[in-house]
Amino acid sequence: MKLRLTHAPTDDEIEATKDGLRAYNRHFIPAKLPCPVAVFAEDENGEQKAGIIAETMGNWLMIKYLWVDESLRGQYIGSSLMQRAEEEAMARGCRYSMVDTFSFQARPFYERQGYECQMVLEDFLNDIRYSPNGEASHSRIYLTKTLR
């Protein structure tokens, strides 16, 4: 057995690793998990202006991405996307939700939605606007919410 390091894994290599893990996981969880869910906000021309990409698995909604065009921020679009995704998750039987964000992103927004901080990974990545030697860095924040 030999080890090979690569900085550019192929799609096939990534899928082979995922397939191996999925095969093991099938002994413990249903094969069709996770189940994707997405909600989009579109303008009158059908152009996407905001969206949330998530998945449900077991009792959890796991939010992967939330984006709102800067021109729409502060208009409750993000809150509406979150609410709709959470409603769908509850319809699927989920009781909890989780999301992660960086310190320069949306922690206060998520906390206004009822999310509570569970963990912070300090000094996660450096801010490109400052010295690359690590003088300024950002944290990664993990938050959860009980769905009602």
Q: Which residue has the higher pLDDT, 74 or 116?
A: 116
Angle at 50 between CA 49 and CA 53, to 5 degrees: 140
Give the rounded percent of residues in the chain with a pLDDT score beyond 70.
Answer: 96
Topology of domain 32-146 in CATH is: Aminopeptidase (3.40.630)
pLDDT digits (tens, 9 = 90+) for 9-35: 999 999 999 999 989 988 998 767 789
Contact, 63 vs 97, CB < 8 A? Answer: yes
Return all residues near 36 (Cβ < 8 A) that are at least 6 apart.
53, 54, 55
Quick check: helix, strand or coil at residue 13?
Answer: helix
Each domain of the chain, given as residue ranges in start order, spans 32-146
What's the pLDDT score for residue 130?
77
pLDDT of residue 132: 66
Confidence of residue 7 (pLDDT cuts 50, 70, 90): very high
User: Residue 75 carries which DSSP code?
Assistant: T
Return the bridge partners of 117, or none.
143
Q: Which pLDDT band holds residue 135 (cuts at 50, 70, 90)?
A: low
Q: Count CB-CB contacts under 10 A for residue 86.
A: 23
